[in-house]
Chain A
Amino acid sequence: MKLTREATEYLTVGLLAAVLLAFTMTLDPFRLNNVGKYLSFGFVAIGIVLTWGYGGVLSLGQGIFFGLGGYMMAMFLKLEASAPELPDFMVWSGIEALPVWWEPFYSLPITLVLIHLIPAVGAYLFAYAIFRKRVSGVYFAIVTLALAMTMTVLIVGAQSTIGGANGITDFRTFLGMDIVDDASKMVLYVLQVLVLFTVMLAALKLTNSRLGKILIAIRDKEDRVRFSGYNTAHVKAAVFALAAVLSAMGGAFYSLQTGLIAPSLIGVVASVEMVIYAAVGGRLSVPGAVVGAILIGFLKSYLSETFPEYWLYFLGSIFIFVVLFMPKGLAGFFDRLRVGRALGGEAR
């Protein structure tokens, strides 16, 4: 049986979703919740596959958008948890009236719209302004890195209005439903897997469309694309905005899964880790990105428990190994096996 590359990708995504759903029957609630946490980074990693793997745009600031989604969801949950009072950290800081920009987050529909809209518009305008000036490659990465750093500094400084270094925590209901008990965690997990499955299908559709080819073309020969009549700054900014939305979705799920969002989850280190997820899974593979996020997430949990002081060295070594020896990550490794078998075991 010989499958095309595209069919193999769809099959892999289907299998991955099936395995993730099967976890509900095999894993205990604690571990399942952990997997849910890793999956929220899977959303971010898919976005990185699209912008970096396909479009050649490396962002070291995806944590910004993860944070935007996470914080907006947490603001909604926190308002619900503390109603009719103000959120506790505001009370401690002596704030007497809710800041105006918190108001929209009383409403779930508005919160959900803003979680998608703000990162999309913000990311598009930012990226278009930069790409139009022909800033790209490592310079773009540095700008995003600086932004991620700025964002954490701003949040840490805003103790009274957004919770500062502690972040926003201590919320346990979602529309009155307890989100800490096992049954609702299960529901949340299944919902997240279904949304992730849909996102993976959409991302595959994108990479296999003409737009996907255009992104590859921009990555390899941007000038040629420009002189074929494309506004490449617009195309790149649009995909960057899409990746921002995916990151924000991941952030929102993260807040729901863990009951916590904090500046440390969205800063420079977190943002670089997100790139490692995509690199390990394979920067050209949508399901690979999700697998990378789960794998590194699991390793991180395991190693940081076992070797609390050294696990960052492990993470760094994995990244260097992948960059040096597996430029297309795990997905590239399996792809070579598949192609090798199709050629009757010939070496390639």
Chain B
Amino acid sequence: MSASMQMARDPEQELSIRNENVASEETFRVEDLSVSFDGFRAVDNLCLSVAKNELRVIIGPNGAGKTTLLDMICGKTRPTEGKVIFDGEVVSGLPEYQIVKKGIGRKFQTPSVYEDLSVFENFEISMPDAQGVLDSLFFKRDEAIRERVSRAAAEVFLADQLHRKAGTLSHGQKQWLEIGMLLIQEPRLLLLDEPVAGMSPREREATAELLTRVANGRSVIVIEHDMDFVKRIAHKVTVLHQGRLLAEGSADEIQSNPKVIEVYLGH
């Protein structure tokens, strides 16, 4: 175990990332993050940092702590120890809605959209303006709002679905809608939990392009299982195992890493 930790923190390996998109500027990191549920350490002493413009993919077998990690970053779960630092500011411990306002957006594993509302309304509610009670009561839908919604919808391939009820969309379209609802908040760190689950190959292809595009100008963390998809989008891959960091590196390095093969890819 200590060997793997060493490997993960090896500064030379950090430097070996050759992706030119990745700027050196670090916007996000977690320090010694741990959480235990009734004595079970779901995430154990984890360190991780993600740069601006970087698309990081987190992989790992079931129960590795991937979703729990995202839960702690966005404030859904409180870490037992350690810190989440975003743009030089500690955000762990803040209420969820304030973490969102700092610029961290979270997509859930199963698509979470408001099924009784139209696609347009789903986007509109997700916009960061008029979130107070009185603001939202006297909120007026103007041309600028329509414009923003149309742009967000076009970005996630839903331009012609605006007036449908979200509940009637296909599974893949719901995934897109939720990604779009995040994008309209203009987050600087985007956390996506299995964004292509349940998508057709064509939808996956489109999503890969979408994710590559949105990573420009912000940081993105994606949890994903499908290694082909991971290779397609990842600038860098982090492997978690039993709540700990097992390895970190480019997709190719990860695929040839004997430790990773042993616990995960080998099966």
Real binding pair: yes
Known A-B contacts A216-B117, A217-B125, A223-B108; the reply to A229 vs B133 at CB < 8 A is no
Interface members, chain B 112-130 (any A CB < 8 Å): 112-117, 121, 124-126, 128, 130
Q: Please report the total number of A residues contacting B with Cβ < 8 Å.
A: 25
Cβ-based interface call for A235 (8 A): yes
Cβ-based interface call for A31 (8 A): no
Known A-B contacts A228-B185, A229-B128; the reply to A209 vs B100 at CB < 8 A is no
Cβ-based interface call for B101 (8 A): yes
Other-chain residue from A210, A217, A224 in contact with B139 (beta carbon distance below 8 A):
A210
Residue among B105, B130, B136 with max Cβ neighbours from chain A (10 Å): B136
Interface members, chain A 205-235 (any B CB < 8 Å): 205-206, 209-211, 213-214, 216-217, 220-221, 223-232, 234-235
Q: Contact check, B121 vs A213: say whether CB atoms are below 8 A apart.
A: yes
* Distance A227 CA – B126 CA, assembled complex (angstroms): 9
Cβ-based interface call for B26 (8 A): no
Other-chain residue from A209, A217, A230 in contact with B97 (beta carbon distance below 8 A):
A230
Q: Contact check, B112 vs A229: say whether CB atoms are below 8 A apart.
A: no
Q: Contact check, A238 vs B133: say whether CB atoms are below 8 A apart.
A: yes
Contacts of B96 in A (CB 8 A): 226-227
Cβ-based interface call for B55 (8 A): no
List the B residue with the shortest CB-CB distance to A234: B133
Cβ-based interface call for B138 (8 A): yes
Main secondary structure of the interface of A (DSSP, over half): helix
Contacts of B139 in A (CB 8 A): 209-211
Q: Contact check, A230 vs B112: say whether CB atoms are below 8 A apart.
A: no
Contacts of B108 in A (CB 8 A): 223-224, 227
Cβ-based interface call for B95 (8 A): yes
Other-chain residue from B76, B136, B185 in contact with A214 (beta carbon distance below 8 A):
B136
Other-chain residue from B97, B105, B126, B136 in contact with A211 (beta carbon distance below 8 A):
B136
* Distance A231 CA – B96 CA, assembled complex (angstroms): 8
Known A-B contacts A210-B130, A211-B137, A214-B125; the reply to A220 vs B185 at CB < 8 A is no
Q: Contact check, A227 vs B116: say whether CB atoms are below 8 A apart.
A: no
Contacts of A238 in B (CB 8 A): 133
Determine how close the nearest CB of chain B comes to the CB of A76; give it in whole angstroms. Answer: 30
Determine how close the nearest CB of chain A comes to the CB of B50; give it in whole angstroms. Answer: 19
Determine how close the nearest CB of chain B comes to the CB of A55; give it in whole angstroms. Answer: 12
Q: Contact check, A229 vs B113: say whether CB atoms are below 8 A apart.
A: no
Contacts of A221 in B (CB 8 A): 112-114
16 contacts between A and B (CB under 8 A): A210-B139, A210-B141, A213-B121, A220-B114, A220-B116, A221-B112, A221-B114, A223-B112, A224-B112, A226-B100, A227-B96, A228-B100, A228-B126, A228-B128, A230-B131, A234-B133
> Which residues of A pack against B, CB within 8 Å?
205-206, 209-211, 213-214, 216-217, 220-221, 223-232, 234-235, 238-239
